[in-house]
Amino acid sequence: MTRSIPSALCAFAFLGLAVSACSPTVATRGNMADPDRIAEIKAGQSRREDVADILGTPTSVGTFDQNVWYYIGQKTEKLAFFEPSVMERRVVVVHFDDAGVVKEMKQLDATDGQRIDIVDRSTPTAGREMSFLEQMLGNVGRFSAKDSRNRGPGR
């Protein structure tokens, strides 16, 4: 009777640890711009400096058009060893005119994204492929003992 209480207590503690280990891990990456802060930006009124003060440094600036700023953020949830799932994705695209005034602002979410399939092909390298045995025995006989004499570090 006295032995069953500690073992039951130990089993209960182990079960509690096991359940807590399976709680999901939520990770936020990037700049999850707050909708209230986004509402402060007005097209035709706000300038670059205003946008930078409100939303911070952009995640990315347009490659071919420096007048486009991107604020990209994503919140994911991962449970144990499973693949993480996207809970929320928010992209804010701010277009400026040449004077630096906000011309247009768009908000995108996960439904606006496109799935891209990764291609598994690899580019072959020039030359011939060596077998495992050729790789292992390739340097046998290439060096002699007199080549390695008096060749310590720094010589």
Q: Per-residue pLDDT tens for 107-129?
A: 998 888 888 898 888 887 777 77
Q: Which residues of the chain have pLDDT under 70?
A: 1-3, 16-21, 143-155
Question: What pLDDT does 9 receive?
Answer: 76
User: What is the Cα–Cα distance from 114 to 122, expressed in whole angstroms?
Assistant: 24
User: What is the Cα–Cα distance from 95 to 9, expressed in whole angstroms?
Assistant: 62
Question: What pLDDT does 133 receive?
Answer: 83
Q: pTM value?
A: 0.63
Question: What pLDDT does 147 receive?
Answer: 60
**Domain segments of the chain as ranges:** 44-114
